[in-house]
Amino acid sequence: MLIKICGLRDNYADVVALKPDFAGLIFYQKSPRFVELSQEPVLKQKLTDVKKVGVFVNADKDYILDKVSEYNLDLVQLHGNESPELCAEIRKSLLVIKAFGISSESDLQSAEKYAQYVDYLLFDTKTKGYGGSGVKFDWHMLQNVNISQKFLLSGGISLDDLEYIKALKINNLVGVDLNSCFEDTPGLKNIEKLKQALNILRK
């Protein structure tokens, strides 16, 4: 199962040393995990063992591509109301994850319209903000809708949920996105909890 740890900033180097599959940096100014609040040069270094994901919310294409270059990003995650056309355009140069807030099966059906334009979908809990809420949605809905693209599960996932998620029999569920339940403060991850999570998911 793929493991994405998102909202990295204040102890970034310690987290990437654990070698998750994806390390997420948030480029959304209203997020308490906004990566540009830090001036640490290590955040911009190219990684070899971990794929760096830049998370954007309703940003324009030029800003996204500037940050891809500046921070040596491998993937882009679009977490706002971006169009399929923008997804397809960015996908010409790098992998794209499209995130959706979910509260009903109709949200999942709307997400399916993007399946052909992206490399992964990501399903988070629908809130007034854009992720990082620490709240779960009803994962059983995923068993009622055919999702034709690979997707990551997000939204309030904690250590107590990981064995359950591993046992889910849902087509194209390929990974999890860990964030708020694995940090001490926004942008500062709890390394011991993350070590436990990786052990559970990889055993």
Say whether pLDDT at 133 is over 70: no
**How far apart are alpha carbons 154 and 133 in whole angstroms?**
10
Give pTM, 2 decimals: 0.94
Residue span of the structural domain in which 182 resides: 2-202
Burial class (CB within 10 angstroms; exposed 0-12, middle 13-18, buried 19+) of 42:
exposed
Report the CATH number that the domain containing residue 10 is assigned in CATH.
Answer: 3.20.20.70
Percent residues over pLDDT 70 in the chain: 98
The pLDDT of 97-109, averaged and rounded, is 92
Catalytic residues: 6, 124
Number of structural domains, the chain? 1
Q: Identify the pLDDT of residue 81.
A: 93
Say whether pLDDT at 128 is over 80: no
- Mean pLDDT over the full length of the chain: 94
The answer to whether residues 36 and 27 touch, using CB atoms and an 8 Å cutoff, is yes
Q: What is the pLDDT of residues 73-84, one digit of tens each?
A: 999 999 999 999
The answer to whether residues 5 and 194 touch, using CB atoms and an 8 Å cutoff, is yes
The pLDDT of 118-134, averaged and rounded, is 80
**pLDDT band (50, 70, 90) for residue 127:** confident
**How far apart are alpha carbons 108 and 124 in whole angstroms?**
11
